[in-house]
Each structure stands twice: as C-alpha cells, then as structure tokens.
Amino acid sequence: MPHAKDDQREFFSRQSRVRGMMLGLALGDTLGVARGKLPATGPLRAGVSTQLACFTAEGIVRAQVRGHHKGICYGPGVVLHAYCRWAHLQGIEVEKMRRRWNSHGSAAWPDGWLAGVPALAERRGSAPATVTALSRIEDGYERMATGSRGCHALTRSLPVAVTGTGGIAQAGALAALTHGDPAAQAATVHAALLAHHCLTHVLPQGGGPSAQSAGCVREALHAGIAALPAVGGRIGDDEHGRLVAAFRHAVDEPADPGRLARLAPDATAPAALLGGVYAAASFPDRAGFRAALEFAASAPDGDSVACVTGALLGAAHGAEVLPVDLVSRHELAWVLDTLARDLLLELDDSPSGSEYVPGWDPHWWSRYPGW
C-alpha cells in the first residue's frame, strides 16, 4: 500500500518539525538566558518563555477538545486559563486565580497533566507584562492588558504556528490578552506565520543535503515574508520593509554582530522577530544550528532572539537537527516533546472524540480537560 506508507512518512515528517520547533524554542531560550555560555555538565534549565509556551501548546489542545465536545469555543479564553494555571503554580495571585477558576473549591484544580510538572512551578525569569495582566484577571479580558510591547507576547505564542493559517489569525488575540501594544500583537502574528512556513515548506530539488537544508530555511522565510501583507492587513509598509531588509542582510552580510544589535536592540516583540529572522537566515544549514543560537544569544536581549531563532530552524529542519548533548540535558525535553506530539495528534485525530463520536483514548479528557 504505497499511499498508506506515503501518508505515514508525511505524518512523521510533520511530527519531527513540530517537535523541532518546540524543542528549538526551548534550547534558544536556555542559551539566550545563559548568553550562549552553558555549563559543561548538569541539567539545562528552562526559561520563562519556554514555560509559557508549554501552556500555550496545552491551551491550544484543550481549546480543540472543547470545540469538538461543546461545539463552540473561544480559543484565546482557553489559553488564558492555561496562563492562569501557570500563574497559580508560580504562586502569583493564587487567591484571585482560585476565585476565578475554582470558586467551588475543587481539589482537581489546576487540572491537566501539565500542572504536575515540577519545573513549571519554579521561577525562571521575569515576564512582567504577562504577570501584571494576569493579576487583573478579575477585571475581565478587555481591561487586563498593559500597554507593553514586550517579547513574551511573541515567544510564548509560537506554538500557534502548528494550527495553520486559520489558527494563526488568533495569535494576535493571544498576545492581546496581556500586551496591548499593536506592534507586539502584529509581530506575534507575523512570527507565527513565518514559523508556519518553516513547518510546511517543501525541500528544494537539486544540490546535496547541505545545499537543500540551507535553501529550505531561506526559501521558507522568503515565502513567509512575501505572504505577510495578505494576513488581515496587519503589516505596514515600514514593518514589512524592515523584515525584507533583515532577511536580505542575512543573505548578503550574515552573522554580523553589529547588524544584529541594530535589528534587535531591546526586549520587544518586533526586535525578537527581526533578530530571529536575521539569525536564522544567517545560519540556514543544518550543521549551523548551535552556532545560530550562540549568535542570537549575543543580541542585547539574547533569550528572546535565540528563542525565535531556535523555533524557526527547528521547524524547518526537524527535531533530528537538534544537538543531542543539549536536548538530552534539558529539563523540559520530555514535556516539550510530549506536547508537540499531542498537539499534532489532537489537530489530526481528536483522541477524545466529540459530542457525538466516541474517542479512542479514554484518558485524553483527563489529560486535556476542555475548558
């Protein structure tokens, strides 16, 4: 059955790229926080962007589950609930979170398997705009967000790239839960679309494996940047021109530290996007993954730039490109790998079934309750 084999190979290829995006995001975050200087031995700690991205992925799965079983779902609201579970685990506004989500005193909240991961309850950096907004949870969606342009709106939202162009339209709404600045929201949508192009590009024909891998990254980013003006009219000429220029500089003048510092001078979402595109396109070859992250980590806000860089390259090349010595030491590697697999499985097959169709996994709802 050649068609069945082709379908199976296609699924494993997609799975590898989603895993690569999630794990690449995390490795970039970790190297960025460490400014590219990792300890020689011992576990590698996750950063706050990685923690939040885990809850974004889980929230997307739970929103899909709710939609299948209830017939209606506002995805960003379900993801907001996920961020509130993160806040509760972190000890942030615990009583407010309980009043909002557990007013009846259920012993099962926060629910879902992700809430049982110890490393997600540890403080791993600062996400001030996200924390400030979540502390206003009782004020309602419309009044929570700060005016921040900060990078966490973008870095935590990268998993939405897996949902396709329809779901990517909600990336701005995810950012807007906590970051009110339009530039942060637009950069979040654009980063998700570029990551989606990296996940779905087709390898170019001709040349050896090295030429193919370099070509695939640059072709995916070029196609994604060209497609941005059609995304809901959310990109202006100046912003589009800056992305085009960042990509062109990477092709013509790759890996220039001064250029990177000018493109990504601060910890904002637009800077993370520009810096990530420049670093990823500067090191498009599979063998350059670690060098790309180390270069991205040298940016003024290295963790956000390296986070985007790792996600883009991991999505383009797949999980097999990631350095084994780093992935095997990362404290959330299993968690990220499981979330990547489950996210793709939910989008493809809905293991818990639906309102009218029984599921084939009796434990899926308890792992990913649909609310």
Q: What is the pLDDT of residue 171?
A: 94
236 confidence band (pLDDT: 50, 70, 90)? confident
**Minimal CA–CA distance to 180: which of 143, 208, 127?**
143
The b/e string for 306-318 (b: 16+ C-beta within 10 A; e otherwise) is bbbbbbbbbbbbb
For 184-203, the pLDDT digits (tens) are: 999 999 999 999 999 999 76
Chain-centre distance of CA 330, in angstroms? 17
Q: From residue 114, how far is each of 3, 131, 138 by CA, in Å? A: 36, 19, 24
Give the count of alpha carbons within 13 A of 283, CB side only. 24
**How confident is the model at residue 208, as a pLDDT?**
47
Q: How far is residue 190's CA from residue 168's CA, in Å, rounded to a whole number? A: 9
Is it the case that residue 71 has pLDDT exceeding 90?
no
pLDDT score, position 11: 86
Banded model confidence at residue 2, pLDDT cuts 50, 70, 90: low
Q: Average pLDDT for residues 60-70, to the nearest whole number? A: 96
Q: What is the pLDDT of residue 232?
A: 55
Least confident of 63-77, 118-132, 232-246, 298-312: 232-246
Q: Which of 292, 272, 278 is nearest to 247 (CA)?
A: 278
pLDDT confidence band for 161 (50 / 70 / 90): very high
Per-residue pLDDT, 108: 84
**202: its two tokens:** 């087709």
Query: Is the per-residue pLDDT at 233 higher than 50?
Result: no
Mean pLDDT confidence for 169-174: 92
Identify the pLDDT of residue 92. Answer: 96
pLDDT of residue 355: 87
Assess whether pLDDT exceeds 50 at residue 146.
yes
Confidence at residue 213, expressed as pLDDT on a 0 to 100 scale: 60
Least trusted range by pLDDT, from 4-8, 343-347, 358-362: 4-8
pLDDT on residue 204: 54
**Residue located via tokens 């020689």:** 40
Query: Can you list the alpha helix ranges (DSSP code H) found in the chain?
Result: 2-33, 48-70, 75-90, 94-101, 128-134, 141-144, 152-155, 164-168, 171-176, 182-200, 209-227, 237-252, 257-263, 269-282, 289-296, 302-317, 324-327, 333-349, 364-367
For 25, 54, 85, 88, 326, the CA distances from 91, given in Å and listed in that order, are 25, 18, 10, 5, 29
The CATH class of 19-34+43-349 is mainly alpha
Asked whether 204 and 212 are in contact (CB, 8 A), the reply is yes
pLDDT at 284: 96
pLDDT at 121 exceeding the cut of 90:
yes
Is omega for the bond preceding 323 within 30 degrees of 0, making it cis? no
**Per-residue tokens: 4:** 């069945």
pTM (2 d.p.): 0.94
Does 298 have pLDDT greater than 80? Answer: yes
All structural domains of the chain with their residue ranges: 19-34+43-349
pLDDT range class, residue 234, cuts 50, 70, 90: low
- If one compares 200 and 140, the residue with the highest pLDDT of the two is 200
Task: Specify burial of residue 356 (Cβ count, 10 A radius: 0-12, 13-18, 19+).
Answer: exposed
